[in-house]
Amino acid sequence: ALPICAWDNGWLKPEIAPQKTGKKVAVIGSGPAGLAAAQQLARAGHEVHVYEKFAKAGGLLRYGIPDFKMEKGIIDRRVAQMEAEGVTFHYGKAVGGSTPGAIDPQELAKQYDAVALTGGAEAPRDLPIPGRDLSGIHFAMDFLPQQNRRVSGEPLNGAADILAGGKHVVVIGGGDTGSDCIGTSFRQGAKSVTQLEIMPAPPEHENKGLTWPNWPLKMRTSSSQAEGAVREFAVLTTKFEGKDGKVSKLHCVKVDDKFKPLPGTEFTLDAELVLLAMGFVHPVHEGLLKTLGVELDQRGNVRASLQDYRTSRAKIFSAGDMRRGQSLVVWAIREGRQCARSIDGFLMGKTDLPG
C-alpha cells in the first residue's frame, strides 16, 4: 500500500489567523528556523515579512542538501501555504553588509515591532596549510549550492563552475556535508572520490551497554558513500601540492587517537578537486551582526537563551544555527517555533503558541 500523504489528501491547508494583531515582525533568513518562526507568528495574527538574500526560500534545505536526498517541492509547497497564511517573502534582499542594495538592519529594527535573526551559521572551518591558495580547493558550501541551482535552473550569477567530472576528488570531512559532496561528485562524473576523516574508524557494532540511550557510536555508511567512495580514517592532511597553480596532490599522514602524526605513515593522494567539508565555526559576523551590535557567546554565535531567545538588543531575537551553532534541521525547526512563541509573548503580553 502506498503511504498516506497529508498534502495529497488536502489535510494540510493554510491556517489563516482569524484576527490580526497589528504587530509587524521581520524574520531575517528563510532556512528551517526562519520558516518555522514565520509560520507560527503569522498564525498568531502578526504581519510577518521574511528577508532572504538568495532567490528562493529554504536556506540549507534548498542550497545545501542535494536534490537526490530531498526534492525541493517540499519547500515550495510549504512556502505557498505560508504565503496563503499572509507571510510576505522578500527575495534577493541581503540584510547588512556591502552587497549592492543591501538593507540596513538598523532601519529594519526601527520599522518592525520585533526582529528574528535566523540567518544560520555560514562561516566555514578552513584548512590553513601550505598550498591552500592553489586553485581547485573549495568549501563544500561553494560546491553544493551550485549543483542545486543547476538542477533547479537557477542562474549561477557569473560564478565560476566548480565541477567534479573526470577528476580525482578528495573530500575532507566525514559528516553529512562530506557525504553530500561524494554523491554530488559521482553524479557529475568524478573519476574517483576519496573521503578523509581525522577521527578514528568507529567500531562495526555499538557497545549497547555503554551507549544506551544515547546515539550509538558505530560504523555507518551513507547511500552516497556506498556508491564507491574510498574512506580513510585517522588521516591528517599536511600539505597541498600543485602544478601550474592547480592542486594535483594531497600530502597526508596517519594520526593516533590524540591526533598526533605517526612517523612513517606519510602518503600522497591524487587530487584535482578538493572539497573542504569540516563544518562551520559560527555565523558570519561582518554585516548584519556587527551592525546590530548584538552580543556573541564564547563560540561566536549570537548570545540568546533557550528560555526567551532574546539577544542583547531590545526586541531582537535569534534562533537556529545562528544562535546554537551548526546543528540539525529538526533543532532549527524547534528553535524557530519556540522563538516565535517568545516573540508573540513579548508583543502581546501572553501567547497561545505551542512551546
pLDDT the model gives residue 251 = 98
Ranges in the chain, pLDDT < 50: none
Q: Which domains does the chain have, with CATH numbers?
A: 24-122+281-348 (3.50.50.60), 126-204+214-278 (3.50.50.60)
CB neighbours of residue 146 within 10 Å? 20
Q: Which of 203, 234, 227 is nearest to 216 (CA)?
A: 203
What distances in angstroms separate CA 34 from CA 27, 61, 194, one per listed residue? 6, 12, 35
The pLDDT tens digits for 116-144 are: 999 999 999 999 999 999 999 999 999 99
Residues 6+ apart with CB under 8 A from 147: 66, 184, 187, 188
pLDDT the model gives residue 6 = 86
Q: Which of 138, 123, 166 is nearest to 275 (CA)?
A: 138
pLDDT the model gives residue 100 = 85
pLDDT the model gives residue 250 = 97
CA dihedral angle for residue 72, residue 50, residue 178, residue 70, rounded to 10 degrees: -20
pLDDT the model gives residue 2 = 62
Please check whether residue 335 is in contact with residue 324, taking contact to mean a CB–CB distance below 8 angstroms. yes
Pairing of strands 137-139, 273-276: parallel
Is the C-alpha dihedral spanning 172, 174, 175, 178 positive or negative? positive
CA distance linking residue 73 with residue 84, whole number of Å: 17
